[in-house]
Amino acid sequence: MEELYQDRIEEMVKLLYHHFSLAENWQKAADYGRKAAGVAYRLDQYQEAVRMFENTYSCLLQLPESRTRQKNIVDLLYKMFWPLAFLGQRDQALIICKQAESLAFELKDAVRMSKVHLQYGISYFYKNQYKQAERYCLKILQQSQDSKMDAPIEEAKFHLASIYLDLGHWEKAADLYSEVISNREASGTQNVHLADTPFLLYTHMCHHLGYIRTLQGRIDDANILILKGHTPALKQISSLETRAFCSLWHSSVSAMIGEDYGALERVNDVFDIAEETDSPLLCYLCCVAKGNALIAVNQFEAAKEILKKSLRWVEGIEGQGYRRYLEVVYQNLVLVSLELGNPVLAKEV
C-alpha cells in the first residue's frame, strides 16, 4: 500500500496509520501515527495532534519491550507536551512529564532526562510556581558540557531567563538572553528552531530582551533588538506560535512607549489565523497583544473590547493564567476605562 502513495506520503500518513493498525502491524502503525501527529501539529490542529500521539503511544505499547521502544516512547511523550500546552491542558502536560521521567531514568539517558526536566520547568512556570521551575532548569545547567547537551542547555537558559523576567530580576534575565543571542549570531544559527519545539529561539530572545531594555528606558536598543528578531527572512520561517508570542512582546513595548512601531499590523497578521485554531492559549495571547497595540495608537474603545475578549479565552486554560499577562490585561482595562471617562468600570476591574 505504501508504494501507491510514494509521491504523496505526507498527505496519506493518517490513512496509512489506519491501514497498518487494522493489520496489527504495530511498528508501521506507530511510524505513520507519529508522522500524522506531526502533520497535524504543523497545521496547528492541536487536538488532532494529541489524538494521533495517543494512538501512536498505544501502538508502541503493543511492541515487545526493548530499549528502542522506551526511547521512542520518551520522544513521543516529549513531542506531545507542546500541543497539550497550547490546548491549555496543563495538568495533562504535567502527567506526560511524569510518565516520560520514569522511562528516561531507566534509560540513564542524560539528554532525554534533560528534555523531561525542561518540560517540568515549563509546566511549573505556566503554573507560576517559579521556584520549582527554576530548580528544574538549573538541573540541566549543572550537567556536563557534552556537545549532546548543547541544545537542552541553551533552551534551559532561555526558560530560566523567562522565569527571572517574570520575577523582576531583569539583569539576570538580560545576561542570559544576551549570552544566547550572541552565541547564535556568532554561529550564524539565528534561523534554527529549537529541536522538537515550534519556537524560533533567536526571535524570542531578541523580543524578550527588547522588552527588558524598554523597561530600563533604553528605547533605541529595544527597537534594534525587535528589528533583529523580526527580519523578513526570520518572519518567513516563524511558526504561528513564535509569531503569536513575539507579537505580544512587540505590542507590549509599543504600549509602554506610546508608539505603534508596526505592532498593530503585526498582530493583525496573526490574529485571525490564531482564532481559526483550537488553541485557547494562542487566542488569548493574540487578544492581549492586540489590546496592547490598540492602546499604543489610542484606540481605547476597541482596546477595551478585545481585552475583555482575552479574559473569556483564559477560561479555556487549566489552572492559573499567565500572571504577567493577566496583570497587564487588568491594568490596561483600568487604563482604557479611565481614558474613556468611565471610572465606574475602572473600579469594577
For the segment 79-87, the average pLDDT, to the nearest whole number, is 93
Q: Is 266 exposed, middle or buried (0-12, 13-18, 19+ CB in 10 A)?
A: buried
Maximum alpha-carbon separation in the chain: 69
Which range, of 76-80, 104-108, 114-118, 143-147, averages the lowest pLDDT?
Answer: 143-147
Cell of 332: 490596561
Residue with cell 499590523: 265
Q: Give residue-wise pLDDT tens across range 47-76.
A: 999 999 999 999 999 999 999 999 999 999
* pLDDT at res. 3: 55
The model's confidence at residue 318, banded by pLDDT at 50, 70 and 90, is low
Tell me what percent of the chain is helix, strand and coil, each rounded to the nearest 5.
80, 0, 20
The model's confidence at residue 26, banded by pLDDT at 50, 70 and 90, is very high
- Residues with Cβ within 8 Å of 69's Cβ and at least 6 positions away in sequence, in order, are 60, 63
Give, as one character, the DSSP assignment of residue 97.
Answer: H
Beta-carbon count within 10 A of 155 CB: 24
Q: What is the distance between the alpha carbons of residues 207 and 224, in angstroms, rounded to a whole number?
A: 10
Q: Give residue-wise pLDDT tens across range 155-213.
A: 999 999 999 999 999 999 999 999 999 999 999 999 998 777 789 999 999 999 999 99
Q: Residue 113: name the closest of 121, 230, 13, 193 by CA.
A: 121
Q: What is the distance between the alpha carbons of residues 250 and 245, in angstroms, rounded to a whole number?
A: 9
* pLDDT at res. 266: 96
What would the CATH number be for the domain defined by 254-349?
1.25.40
* pLDDT at res. 91: 86
Residue with cell 512582546: 249
* 274 in Cβ contact with 266 (< 8 Å): no
* 319 in Cβ contact with 283 (< 8 Å): no
Give, as one character, the DSSP assignment of residue 322.
Answer: P
Domain locations along the chain: 1-63, 89-167, 169-238, 254-349
Beta-carbon count within 10 A of 243 CB: 25
Q: What is the distance between the alpha carbons of residues 191 and 138, in angstroms, rounded to a whole number?
A: 26
Q: Residue 202: name the closest of 168, 169, 173, 227 by CA.
A: 227
* pLDDT at res. 151: 85
State the pTM of this model: 0.90
* pLDDT at res. 6: 55
Average pLDDT, whole number, for the chain?
Answer: 90
The model's confidence at residue 267, banded by pLDDT at 50, 70 and 90, is very high
Residue with cell 479611565: 338
Q: Torsions phi, psi of 317, nearest 5?
A: -110, 125
Q: Cα 114 vs. chain centroid, distance in angstroms?
A: 18
